[in-house]
Amino acid sequence: MKPKLALLLAVIFLSAVFSLCVAPGLSQAGQIKLSYANFPPAPTFPCVQMERWKTEVEKRTNGKVLVNTFPGGTLLDAKNMMDGVIAGTADIGCLSMAYQPGRFMVTNATALPFGFPNATVASLVLWDLYKKYMPDEFAKVKVITMFASAPGNIYAKVPVKNLEDLKGLQLRASGGVADLVKALGGTAVGMPQSETPEALQKGVVKGAVSSLETLMDFKYAELCKYVTIINGPIYPFAVVMNMAKWKSLPKDVQKVMDDMGTEQAEWTGKYMDGHVDKSLEWSKKNHGIEITELSEEESANWNKLLEPITGKWIEDAKAKGLPAEQIVKDIKALNKKYAGK
């Protein structure tokens, strides 16, 4: 064999051996890979918090854990998130409890009209509530963290300045927010956030009630020029991990994740609150949205209509054997505690 050819063959052989044995060893020896599914598009806040968690976990475990993220419903979508994680289709998943209000009764109590001032406070309240009650509906998974959207407000293709404007108006809303729309005389159309852009485009709904960062992140401000500030209910979210996967993790990795629960809830709330402000600026500047603040009198009328909602939830929750009044009391007390900080 010619020396040049022999050298070439040796190089090919050695690089094959390196890539088969050594290279994977460098990046993968003992490395734990976790898949993390999310339902809305990558730039939206549930996915931004997912990327932040991924980065922090990878850093704090010194690369022992690698998290592969799947935004935009590419692995699991909004409605099969919980069951998909239980089944192990994804190791981790982020879900909005409002899309299955009967299933997540305790944590969805945070979507009653409590008047949370912002997402940071609501997220900390939700996380504490979960830790106190550890509700059965999460028994099959490990809960990594919880967080909330900012308070929901109305945005629509038509102005909503009073209850008359709201009568029969089709607004996209789920869970506790849907109860609010119904109580005010509007027509609530339930669907995940990820299906809302098409529904607005096609005119299936005339607007929606959700946190206002969506005006920018989903470009709703292009279609919905009218915003009515009601400081309505939040949407609660949970990040859950397949239980068998959790149990298979080394103790030091579990500790990193457990230590991040509260921090991640607060980080997400703060990110969300800052993002709402940016979104409003962007929407005013680029799409000339009109913002309506209700008069005190109008506001009082609206609030009266909302009063029965909590009573009805208490009845339903009691029928399911839950300490409903105590849960409501706890949420109010926690709201005070964190809002006062």
Answer yes or no whether residue 145 interacts with ligand DTR by CB under 6 A.
no
Total residues in contact with ligand DTR, by rule CB under 6 A: 14
Between 61 and 174, whose beta carbon lies closer to ligand DTR?
174
227 part of the interface to ligand DTR, by CB under 6 A: no
| 120 is a contact residue toward ligand DTR (CB under 6 A) | no
Stretch that binds ligand DTR, among 38-46, 108-116, 255-263, 283-291 (CB under 6 A): 38-46
- Least distance (Å) between residue 231 CB and ligand DTR: 15
Residue 31 has which token pair? 């490395």
Task: Tell me the two tokens of residue 275.
Answer: 């993002």
Residue 151 contacts ligand DTR per CB under 6 A: no
Q: How far is the CB of 61 from ligand DTR (least distance, A)?
A: 28
Using the rule CB under 6 A, which residue among 34, 36, 37, 46 binds ligand DTR? 46
Query: Which residues 6+ apart lie within 8 Å of 227 measured at CB?
Result: 153, 154, 155, 212, 215, 283, 289, 290, 291, 292
Q: With contacts defined by CB under 6 A, name the span among 44-52, 55-63, 81-89, 137-145 that binds ligand DTR.
A: 44-52
96: contact with ligand DTR by CB under 6 A:
yes
Quick check: 279 binds ligand DTR (CB under 6 A)? no
Q: Which is nearer to ligand DTR, 44 or 264 (CB)?
A: 44
AA letter at 306: L
Please tell me whether residue 40 binds ligand DTR under the rule CB under 6 A.
yes
Q: Which of residues 297-336 bind ligand DTR (CB under 6 A)?
A: none
Q: Which of 211, 264, 268, 310 binds ligand DTR (CB under 6 A)?
A: 211
The residue among 193 and 310 lying less far from ligand DTR, judged by its C-beta, is 193
Query: In this chain, which stretch among 12-20, 42-50, 56-64, 118-126 interacts with ligand DTR, using CB under 6 A?
Result: 42-50
Binding of ligand DTR at residue 174 (CB under 6 A)?
A: yes
Q: What is the 3-state secondary structure (H, E, C) of the chain?
A: CCHHHHHHHHHHHHHHHHHHHHHHHHHHCCCEEEEEECCCCCCCHHHHHHHHHHHHHHHHCCCCEEEEEECCCCCCCCCCHHHHHHHCCCCEEEEEHHHCCCCCHHHHHHHCCCCCCCHHHHHHHHHHHHHHHCCHHHCCEEEEEEEECCCCEEEECCCCCCHHHHCCCEEECCHHHHHHHHHCCCEEECCCHHHHHHHHHHCCCCEEEECCCHHHHCCHHHCCCEEEECCCCCCEEEEEEEHHHHHHCCHHHHHHHHHCHHHHHHHHHHHHHHHHHHHHHHHHHHHCCEEEECCHHHHHHHHHHHHHHHHHHHHHHHHCCCCHHHHHHHHHHHHHHHHCC
Binding residue for ligand DTR, selected from 214, 264, 292, 310, defined by CB under 6 A? 214
Report 50-79 residues binding ligand DTR (CB under 6 A): none
- When the beta carbons of 40 and 186 are compared against ligand DTR, the nearer one is 40
Query: Of the two residues 186 and 192, which places its CB atom closer to ligand DTR in the complex?
Result: 192
Interior CA angle at 229 toward 129 and 103, to 5°?
35
> What span, in angstroms and rounded, lies between the C-alpha atoms of 137 and 188?
25
Pick from 76, 186, 94, 194: nearest CA to 148? 94
Q: Which of 35, 44, 107, 279 binds ligand DTR (CB under 6 A)?
A: 44
Q: How far is the CB of 192 from ligand DTR (least distance, A)?
A: 6
Using rule CB under 6 A, residue 210 touches ligand DTR: yes
Contact between 193 and ligand DTR per CB under 6 A: yes
Binding site for ligand DTR (CB under 6 A): 40, 44-46, 96, 98, 149, 174, 192-193, 210-211, 214, 235
